Structure 1
Amino acid sequence: MIDPSLIAFLEKLAMNNNKPWFEERKPFFKKLDADFKNVAKHIKENLDQHDVIEKTKTFRIYRDIRFSKDKTPFKTHRSVNWIRAGEERRGSYFMRIKPNDNLIGVGFFGPEKEDLLRVRKELELDAQELRSIIKENNLKNCWGDLQGEQLKTAPRNFDKNHPDMDLIRYKSFYFMKSFTNEEVMSTAFPKIVDDCFKKIRPFLDYMTDVLTTDLNGESIL
């Protein structure tokens, strides 16, 4: 479970986002952060039962303010990314703990230009498999609808009248699920997260298959 004290700390940090306030409470934050990393480790152990995770990346609380108009020094959330192992496993899992805005996510956030073109070409050829996956009840009941920024019109060199243009216009392909503070502080939270990660696997497998083959279905690895 997520320690209720972490939620309370992040709420106070949002109101006192300055170095003196944080430095005074840094030892307490380190304890809370160790607990957060233990939750991330537990979720990773669950993931290892049905996927292969190469790396768990816990993001720093310090903000990079060099090129930002917002000069507040700290993030008011904690987040972690679980990266799947090897070229044959594409995509990653994500969790953010932010008071009243907690979420998990899975998918492809801002894919490389070559990967995006490959997915679009696949959808241009045949989008039915992806449509079937994202409409499947187990996935939809947990994750809802496919999300991601979209172009307002057809990408260059694609027919704007293509029947699957609603999918081809996507620039990112991902799913997100929100949680209340009470839900993330529940002892059931890691299991709920893992159940959702299991249900999204067909989507990850589909995208992996597309991104590791050419349009003839031949492996490019």
Structure 2
Amino acid sequence: MTKSTTHASDFKGLPPELFGFLEGLEADNSKAYFDANRKIYDNSVKAPVDALKDELERDFGPLKVFRMNRDIRFSKDKSPYKTWVGFTTTDRAVGGIGSFWQATAEGMKVATGAMMLESDQLSRYRDALVNDGPGGEFDQIRADLAADAMEVGPGDMPQYKRVPVGCPKDHPRSAELLWKGAIVIQSYDRARWMHTDVVADRVRAVWSSAQPLLDWFERHVGDSAKPARKR
């Protein structure tokens, strides 16, 4: 739940230069581009993102900013940088239960839920879904959020093609048993209001409204026992 606070904020919005920097990085994902535009990154990307993070931490607690550098050790894509910026409430890159915010050259995304659950989490998630008690709670949360124009779904994550072994194939929540997580994602195309402090209000609204989904995952799934992976 958010806390009611009154304070002066350093966050004034996401400057146009932030989106321009990310657009340029998409076209030229190189150290040469990054170094040539370091001042723009420091002043118009890192600074406002940090200010937004600080603003939201007043209500939601510690947030972790994603690093710009990609981990390319085991990736065929050797692009050195992410082409987006963002932060999250969770330490986990995989199996994380929490909320995140992301800005790209095209706009921004605000999300809450569980992403790419680890195997031990998936087992508890499925057990909860097939149980009438927590499964019914999940259905009610989805209905409540849908009434607020927020859809709970698998997001951009891949899904299983068959209902897992041991789960009834004709179960009322068989579709959800194919998911590797469940999340609310609100996407916004790039617009002028993003250059104002309205951004913080939009993030608060989504994270607060979707809190019941987080609470459900905390109660019935919880963290993974596996080590957290690097972002």
Give the partner amino acid of 1:155. Answer: P
Residue 111 of structure 2, aligned match among 63, 86, 105? 105
What is the distance in 2 between the residues matched to 1:128 and 1:25? 51
1:160 equivalent in structure 2: 169
Spell out the pairing of 1:82-161 with structure 2 (5 A cutoff): 82-83=89-90, 91-126=97-132, 127-137=135-145, 140-148=147-155, 149-161=158-170
- Contact 1:3-1:36 within 8 A present in 2 as well: no
> What root-mean-square deviation, in Å, do the aligned CA atoms of Structure 1 and Structure 2 show?
2.0
- Secondary structure of 1:75's counterpart equals coil
1:18 equivalent in structure 2: 30
Q: Deviations over 1:55-108 (max 9, x none)?
A: 311111122222222222221111111239xxxxx8211011001142011111
Measured after TM superposition, the shift of residue 210 of structure 1 is 1.3
Spell out the pairing of 1:1-221 with structure 2 (5 A cutoff): 1-32=13-44, 33-47=46-60, 53=61, 55-83=62-90, 91-126=97-132, 127-137=135-145, 140-148=147-155, 149-182=158-191, 183-211=193-221
Q: Deviations over 1:17-40 (max 9, x none)?
A: 221222122133122212211111
1:50 equivalent in structure 2: none
What is the distance in 1 between the residues matched to 2:41 and 2:214? 35
TM-score by length of 2: 0.79
- Contact 1:111-1:172 within 8 A present in 2 as well: yes
Moved over 6 A (4+): none
- Secondary structure of 2:40's counterpart equals helix
- Secondary structure of 2:67's counterpart equals coil
Aligned residues: 200
- Contact 2:19-2:105 within 8 A present in 1 as well: yes
Measured after TM superposition, the shift of residue 112 of structure 1 is 2.2
What is the distance in 2 between the residues matched to 1:141 and 1:204? 16
What is the distance in 2 between the residues matched to 1:37 and 1:59? 11
Measured after TM superposition, the shift of residue 211 of structure 1 is 2.7
What is the distance in 1 between the residues matched to 2:27 and 2:173? 46
TM-score by length of 1: 0.82
What is the distance in 2 between the residues matched to 1:95 and 1:144? 17
CA gap of 1:17–1:184, structure 2 versus 1, over 3 A, is same
- Contact 2:154-2:180 within 8 A present in 1 as well: no
Q: Give unmatched runs, 5+ long, in structure 2.
A: 1-12, 223-231
- Contact 1:18-1:74 within 8 A present in 2 as well: yes
Q: Give unmatched runs, 5+ long, in structure 1.
A: 48-52, 85-89, 213-221
What is the distance in 2 between the residues matched to 1:92 and 1:145? 14
- Contact 1:142-1:177 within 8 A present in 2 as well: no
Measured after TM superposition, the shift of residue 117 of structure 1 is 0.8
- Secondary structure of 1:76's counterpart equals coil
CA gap of 1:4–1:161, structure 2 versus 1, over 3 A, is same
Measured after TM superposition, the shift of residue 186 of structure 1 is 3.3
Deviating more after overlay: 198-207 vs 18-27: 18-27
The share of aligned pairs that are identical, in percent, is 24
